[in-house]
Structure 1
Amino acid sequence: MRLIDLTHTFEGEMPVYPGDPHPTLMLMEKEGCRDYWLETSMHVGTHMDAPLHMIEGGKYLSEMPVEKFAGRGYVIDARGREIISEELLDGITMEKNAILLVLTGHSSRFKSPAYFENFPMISEGFATRAVELGVSIVGMDTSSPDAPPFPVHKILLGNEILIIENLTNLEQLLNVEHFTIAALPFKLHADAAPVRVVAIVN
Structure 2
Amino acid sequence: MPNIIDISVPLHSGIPVWPGSPGFRLFQTMQIDAGEVANVSQLETDVHIGTHVDAPCHFVSGGKTVEQLSLEVLIGSAVVAHLPEISAVTPEDLEALALPPNTQRLLLRTRNSQLWANQVSEFQIDFVALTADAAQWVVDHGIQLIGVDYLSVQRYYDSPFTHEILLGAGVVIVEGLNLTDVPPGLYDLVCLPLKLVGSDGSPARAVLIEKDH
TM-score, length basis structure 2: 0.86
What is the CA–CA distance in structure 2 between the aligned matches of 1:39 and 1:113, rounded to whole Å?
Answer: 19
Query: 4+ residue runs of structure 1 moved beyond 3 angstroms?
Result: none
2:202 pairs with one of 172, 193, 196: 193
- The RMSD of aligned alpha carbons is 1.8
What is the CA–CA distance in structure 1 between the aligned matches of 2:207 and 2:200, rounded to whole Å?
Answer: 22
2:88 alignment partner in structure 1: 83
2:9 corresponds to 1:8: yes
Show CA shifts across 1:157-191 (max 9, x none): 001101111110353132x4x31111111011200
Q: Where does the alignment leave 5 or more consecutive residues of structure 1 unmatched? A: none
Q: Report how far residue 113 of structure 1 moved.
A: 5.4
2:190 alignment partner in structure 1: 182
What is the CA–CA distance in structure 2 between the aligned matches of 1:24 and 1:145, rounded to whole Å?
Answer: 24
Paired AA for residue 167 in structure 2: L
Paired residues in the alignment total: 199
2:164 corresponds to 1:154: yes
Q: SS of the residue aligned with 2:47?
A: coil
Q: SS of the residue aligned with 1:33?
A: coil
Q: 1:44 to 1:182 in 2, by over 3 A?
A: same
Q: Report how far residue 64 of structure 1 moved.
A: 1.5
What is the CA–CA distance in structure 2 between the aligned matches of 1:10 and 1:37, rounded to whole Å?
Answer: 14
Q: SS of the residue aligned with 2:139?
A: helix
Q: Is the 8 A contact 1:76 1:88 kept in 2?
A: no
Paired AA for residue 102 in structure 2: E
Aligned positions of 1:63-82 closer than 5 A: 63-82=68-87
1:61 alignment partner in structure 2: 66
1:172 pairs with one of 178, 182, 207: 182
Q: SS of the residue aligned with 2:170?
A: coil
2:36 corresponds to 1:36: no
What is the CA–CA distance in structure 2 between the aligned matches of 1:13 and 1:168, rounded to whole Å?
Answer: 16
Q: SS of the residue aligned with 1:157?
A: helix
Q: Is the 8 A contact 2:17 2:123 kept in 1?
A: no
Paired AA for residue 99 in structure 1: R
Aligned positions of 1:113-152 closer than 5 A: 115-146=123-154, 147=156, 148-152=158-162
TM-score, length basis structure 1: 0.90
Q: Where does the alignment leave 5 or more consecutive residues of structure 2 unmatched? A: none
Paired AA for residue 160 in structure 2: F
